Structure 1
């Protein structure tokens, strides 16, 4: 099965084509752009298709990161994935960024439990634990730093993500939250197809309408 994986949930704009039958990444591109995912995504996709020497109609499944992460970036990726799936008539699945981070850590240290913890700013952490088999051991949550630190106290496993230091497990060097696109593809290939993916927002957007400035309707 040929899987098209998309990630625009963070600072990267990433696309991969993956052959699940041979566990082979046919092509992948990751550009660290910060913002502007909507403007770059199609060009990155074209590059990946050209490198893999495939056309879009060969794709049999779409996988996309659904968050938590950048509010706008997530919307770009999910909308693109659902559009491609509709036009191609193929299933589309969502993959959380926390499970991608945990899967990457599990590949480095198999058999160790993982906590994925992203700095959500405003004294909050996006937090999810995973057991030693790589399975989710709880739901993704937005917690205060203090609550996340309490849950992570005494944890004997791997803590990954930009909030690791905030919750008492400082990394050896500064860490940025990234979601390897090859892992997005592999996770997406294994997920059962079901409802269309939706953005995983663990809290509302940082930017909100200002009260008291609405224009009266005529």
Structure 2
């Protein structure tokens, strides 16, 4: 089965084609754009299809990062994945950014439990713990920094993500929130098809409407 994987949850806009039968990447493209995913994504997908010399009709499943991450970026990716799935008549699945980071770390350092931890700002951390074989042992959640520190106190395993420096300040390595599109594709190939992918928002958007300027409905 050919998987089209999409990621717009962070500063990158990425797509990849993955052959789950042969366990081989057929092509991938990723641009660090920060913003503007809606305008950039279709071009990225075209590049991947051209590189693999493949028509959209060959795609058997869509996988997309659903968050946590950029509020707007996630909406763009999920909408595109659902649109492609509908037009091609194939299933779409969601892959979280936390499980993607954890799986990528386990590829580098197998055999140890992993906590994926993203700096959510405003004194909060998005985190989730995974076993050494990549199985989630807790639900993704947003917690206050002090609670996160208590959760990782004495944790004998790997921590990955932008919150690592907050939770283990003695580590000098730079930690960024990276969601390798090849890992998204691989996880998407085995993800159960339960429902249409939808954004995983662990808290509301930072920008909220001002009630004083709301227009009354008639």
Alpha-carbon distance in 2 for matches of 1:170, 1:61 = 42
Alpha-carbon distance in 2 for matches of 1:215, 1:140 = 36
Counterpart for residue 127 of structure 2 = 127
Alpha-carbon distance in 2 for matches of 1:177, 1:136 = 18
Counterpart for residue 175 of structure 1 = 175
Matches within 5 A, 1:1-20: 1-20=1-20
Q: Structure 1 146/217 Cα, relative in aligned 2: closer, same or farther at 3 Å?
A: same
Counterpart for residue 50 of structure 1 = 50
**Is the 8 Å Cα contact of residues 78 and 198 (structure 2) preserved in structure 1?**
yes
TM-score by length of 1: 0.97
Helix, strand or coil at the partner of 2:167: coil
Helix, strand or coil at the partner of 1:45: helix
Counterpart for residue 113 of structure 2 = 113
Q: Structure 1 58/162 Cα, relative in aligned 2: closer, same or farther at 3 Å?
A: same
The alignment status of 1:195 with 2:195, answered yes or no, reads: yes
Return 5+ residue gaps in structure 2 as ranges. Answer: none
Counterpart for residue 103 of structure 1 = 103
Counterpart for residue 154 of structure 1 = 154
Helix, strand or coil at the partner of 2:120: strand
Counterpart for residue 89 of structure 1 = 89
Helix, strand or coil at the partner of 1:156: coil
Q: Structure 1 209/91 Cα, relative in aligned 2: closer, same or farther at 3 Å?
A: same
Deviations 1:44-63 (A, max 9, x none): 10000000000111000000
**Is the 8 Å Cα contact of residues 165 and 175 (structure 2) preserved in structure 1?**
no
Alpha-carbon distance in 2 for matches of 1:44, 1:25 = 16
Counterpart for residue 59 of structure 1 = 59
Greater displacement, 175-184 / 94-103: 175-184
Alpha-carbon distance in 1 for matches of 2:30, 2:217 = 46
**Is the 8 Å Cα contact of residues 102 and 114 (structure 1) preserved in structure 2?**
yes
Alpha-carbon distance in 1 for matches of 2:169, 2:182 = 26
Return 5+ residue gaps in structure 1 as ranges. Answer: none
CA drift of 1:29 comes to 0.5
Alpha-carbon distance in 2 for matches of 1:87, 1:191 = 21
TM-score by length of 2: 0.97
CA drift of 1:215 comes to 2.9
Helix, strand or coil at the partner of 2:126: strand
How many residue pairs get aligned? The number is 218
CA drift of 1:170 comes to 4.8
Q: Structure 1 209/182 Cα, relative in aligned 2: closer, same or farther at 3 Å?
A: same
